[in-house]
Amino acid sequence: MTNGYGKKPEFDFEKINFDLIKKYIIPIAIILGIIIIGYSSIFTVKANQEATILRFGKYMETVGPGLQFKLPFGIDKVYAGEVKRIYNEEFGYRTLRSGRESVIDSDFRGAKEVSLMLTGDRNCAEVNWVVRYKIKNLKDFLFNVRNVKATIRDVSEAVMRKIVGDRSIDEVLTIGRRDIEEVAEGEIEDILDLYGCGIAVQVVNLKGVDPPGPVKDAFDAVNKAVQLREQIINEAEGKKNKIIPFAMGKKEQVISEAEGYKIKRINEATGDTKAFLAVWGEYEKAKDVTRRRLYLETMARVIPKCEEIFIIDKDQKGILPILNLGGSKVTK
């Protein structure tokens, strides 16, 4: 069969087997269409993610981890975000390599413009810090603010400059660092919530606070002196806490011993008094007998302790009795 130009037609519809098409081709096409639609309709959200679904550019919903469904052919668009990840924004430095031995760089271009601040007592300090945050509302994070990262940096720098400007250089360098971190964390969170950024500030850490280079050595010397003073005070307090309890214990011991000695002496004096009064009573009853008894009792205690005993006859007529005081033998 030829056409009017003497050529065979490109398709010979008379030879097409429509029964074969109905039986095999159409079902296969339907199955392929279903597969394509299913593949473009199913998506997976990872365990640490959430995903927002937009339909023709309008927000529909936020879905969690797992197998999820959307309309195919670009009707629905999906935007995922890691809501369990901790994000870091570093100021005045940047981490080149993290790990057990982190490597940081604080001399890159623009670092000093961020870190150099004026304190409340008109001194300068180089403040390096990091803001750690998480996504708490993926919809707000994606659609409320055009550039969330830049907003976080601008707000954090403004808040930190205000806080440092309200404090003295000593507070910034030493005793006020924890207070600065807490105040900055709260104020940054409040402002970002006001902007609807959809993030939650986890913590603000001051990584390094130093005086400017030209005066750093002088500040270090002052800090060493302060630390030495604190060390000496702590050592003195330790000695005081050690010596005072010992002295108090010794005092109590001496007082206790004195009280015991007092009671002992009182008891002894009381006993001696009672004994004397008893003897006095007997003496009053028979003075001669009592006097002789006391004399004999005293001699009984004294004579055994004597090495030599001299007995002088009271009837001797000599004016001065001769005593053998030298210990030589006396001849009679």
Residue 324 pLDDT more than 60? no
Please state, in angstroms and rounded to a whole number, the distance separating the CA atoms of residues 310 and 321. 11
> In this predicted model, which residue has the larger pLDDT, 299 or 213?
299
Please state, in angstroms and rounded to a whole number, the distance separating the CA atoms of residues 85 and 76. 26
Query: What pLDDT, on the 0 to 100 scale, is given for residue 331?
Result: 46
Mean pLDDT, residues 147-160: 96
Residue 319 pLDDT more than 60? no
Query: What pLDDT, on the 0 to 100 scale, is given for residue 119?
Result: 93
> In this predicted model, which residue has the larger pLDDT, 315 or 45?
45
- Per DSSP, the three-state class of 129 is strand
Residue 330 pLDDT more than 60? no
Per DSSP, what are the bridge partners of residue 88? Answer: 132
Residue 29 pLDDT more than 80? no
Give pairs for 215-219: CB < 8 Å, separation 24+: 219/173
pLDDT grade for 181, boundaries at 50, 70 and 90: very high
Please state, in angstroms and rounded to a whole number, the distance separating the CA atoms of residues 313 and 172. 107
Please state, in angstroms and rounded to a whole number, the distance separating the CA atoms of residues 110 and 93. 10
Neighbours of 28 (CB within 10 A): 9
Residue 24 pLDDT more than 70? no
Residue 328 pLDDT more than 80? no
Kindly report, residue by residue over 66-125, the tens digit of the pLDDT.
Answer: 988 888 888 899 999 999 999 999 998 888 766 655 555 666 666 788 889 999 988 889
CATH number of the 87-211 domain = 3.30.479.30
pLDDT grade for 327, boundaries at 50, 70 and 90: low
Query: What pLDDT, on the 0 to 100 scale, is given for residue 60?
Result: 93
The answer to whether the Cα torsion of 313, 319, 325, 328 is positive or negative is: negative
DSSP state of 305: G
Domain boundaries, the chain: 16-82, 87-211, 213-322
**What is the pLDDT of the chain when averaged over all its residues?**
83
CB-based burial label for 166 (10 Å; 0-12, 13-18, 19+): middle
Report percent pLDDT > 70 for the chain: 81
Closest of 203, 215, 217, 210 to residue 116, by C-alpha: 210
Residue 148 pLDDT more than 50? yes
- Per DSSP, the three-state class of 78 is strand
- Triad 212, 214, 215: Cα angle to 5°: 70
Do 106 and 92 form a contact (C-beta atoms < 8 A)?
yes
CB-based burial label for 106 (10 Å; 0-12, 13-18, 19+): middle
Indicate the range of 52-56, 136-140, 223-227, 320-324 predicted with least confidence: 320-324
